[in-house]
Structure 1
Amino acid sequence: MTNLDGLGMKVIDMGGKIGSASAMKMATLRLPKDIVLY
């Protein structure tokens, strides 16, 4: 989980548009099913 969060933060720093998308993905990653799909 910590690694995914770190990558998400880096993506947000790289680009606002990509960051917003990653934020939504991170929210879904909290669910077990979504983590498996990821």
Structure 2
Amino acid sequence: YASLYFCMCIDQDDNELEVLEIIHHFVEILDRYFGS
């Protein structure tokens, strides 16, 4: 995640681990799209 920063607002009842998984998945998609 070199120099990327992510900010997410979640509800108090949301699962924090799931949010981290979503961020990881999003980074993988960006990596495939931009090929870096």
Q: Same fold (TM over 0.5)?
A: no
The structure that is helix-richer by fraction is: 1
TM-score computed with the length of structure 1 as normaliser: 0.42
Which of the pair has the greater relative contact order for Cα pairs under 8 Å at 6+ separation? 2
TM-score computed with the length of structure 2 as normaliser: 0.43
